[in-house]
Amino acid sequence: MKNVVVVGSQWGDEGKGKIVDWLSSEADVVVRFQGGHNAGHTLVIDGKTYKLRLLPSGIVRENKISIIGNGVVVDPWALIDEIEEIRNKGVNINEENLLVSEAVSLILPVHRELDALREDNNKNGKIGTTRRGIGPAYEDKVGRRSIRLVDLSSEENLDAKLTVLLDHHNALRKGMNVKEYNKQNLKEELLKIAPKILKYSKPIWKKIDEFKKSNKKMLFEGAQGILLDVDHGTYPFVTSSNTVASSAATGSGCGVNTINYILGITKAYTTRVGEGPFPSEQKNQIGEKLGEKGKEFGTVTSRKRRCGWFDAVLVKQTIKTSGINGIALTKLDVLDEFDTIQICIAYDLNGKKIDYLPASSIEQFKVKPIYKSFKGWKTSTNGIKSFSELPKQAQTYIKFIEEFVEAKVSTVSTSPERKDTILIENPFEI
């Protein structure tokens, strides 16, 4: 039995939804372990489209258990709305197939407001957050003042914890000339939604241990991408959690020895949402064409994504920092019409050639990509299901990526449809 972690090897939006859905059909348990409802997965199953934000991808399949681990920050109102939305599409969601860690920290209205206030008042430039309160909620978690799901089970305990939380937030709000937040109103809102979400609450570390003992196949589903990791990403233009694969252990309480295989979802070109450095970005017709062909708009925010050539330097770096065993190459078909395709293989930093992205954000903005050119295949790869049937130039492109980043290409996706997948090796069976 294999337990597989799926992470994005770039800045997110790599097409994890389709790959995770395909893997979840083989898994017994699907676990979300970090992030919040700022990252979305789009699944297309039997002609039906499901846009998931907090719910694990396994939720749309029968006889699967979906888990939201302690590493996730949960907006309870957003979660209940999403449950109802997916239920209305005919999916059965109950306390048996959806388990939420009792230790998750909650995103509250005060977090959403602070997120927006900071983004609008940031004199040093925007970070590009989704304004959903994820960052401030993680800050409170680290600051040991967050409201956790288990706190909703006791009004007395909740009242005391809200006092601590709002002492901090109202001091911030006062400094920003914003009206103080009313504790009573917030407490009433939380007590009102408490019964709707507490019924899913479980000690997840204990449940996962039970699943391990009964040899259940587990799939750990990451959100965003490794380049948005708060430690290993393009700081400060990052998310507020660790997006590397090792977070699957801390974000669920399973222990690192539970993880057997790490799959990095990797787009055949590069995209980024929001602000921050992007060495291979194409602010020209090439970028526009990639965005148009790839339908590069955010699942959650509908924001237009920045587009550029494949950056093999960055992907090699994320493979090392996350311990990726193999990559699933997605959206290959988007490159079908290009005469020439470029891959970034190094950077020029002030006249010096380097083979990694520096930690300094100043230098990250300064690096210039050094490209290797490939002849385009100029024919459709859409729907191809065998590697040998791919055009020779496409095979060359894939093999070069595989050798350069030092990780096997285990899967190639040739369309948004789940069936249009070239499976080279199954992570659950290696």
pLDDT tens per residue across span 44-99 = 777 788 888 999 989 998 899 999 999 999 999 999 999 999 999 999 999 999 99
Contact 73, 46 (CB under 8 A): no
Q: Where are the alpha helices (H) located in 303-378, listed in sequence order? A: 312-322, 361-366
- Whether omega for the bond prior to residue 236 falls within 30 degrees of 0, making it cis, is yes
Which residue, chain included where needed, has tokens 């097409």? Answer: 15
**pLDDT score recorded for residue 21:** 80
Report the distance separating Cα 244 and Cα 290, nearest Å.
27
**pLDDT score recorded for residue 120:** 80
Q: Amino acid identity of 174?
A: K
Q: What is the pTM of this model?
A: 0.92
**pLDDT score recorded for residue 127:** 61
Helices (H) and strands (E) in the chain, counts: 12, 20
Range list of β-strands (E), 186-305: 201-202, 218-221, 261-267, 270-272
**pLDDT score recorded for residue 1:** 55
**pLDDT score recorded for residue 374:** 98
CA neighbor of 28 nearest in space, from 302, 257, 213, 295: 213
The two tokens of residue 76 are: 């309870």
**pLDDT score recorded for residue 103:** 98
Those residues of the chain that have pLDDT short of 70 are 1, 39, 122-129, 298-302, 430
288-300 pLDDT, tens digit each? 999 999 999 866 6
Rounded to 10 degrees, the C-alpha dihedral 237/239/244/249 comes to 160
In whole angstroms, how far apart are CA 312 and each of 125, 315, 370, 402? 28, 5, 11, 10
**pLDDT score recorded for residue 216:** 95
Interior angle at CA 297, CA 296 and CA 298, nearest 5? 125
Task: Judge residue 267's burial from the number of C-beta atoms within 10 Å of its C-beta, 0-12 exposed, 13-18 middle, 19 or more buried.
Answer: buried
The two tokens of residue 29 are: 């348990």
For helices 183-198 and 109-121, what crossing angle results, to 10°? Answer: 120
The length of the chain is: 430
Neighbours of 324 (CB within 10 A): 27
Report the distance separating Cα 230 and Cα 217, nearest Å.
29
Catalytic residues: 13, 41
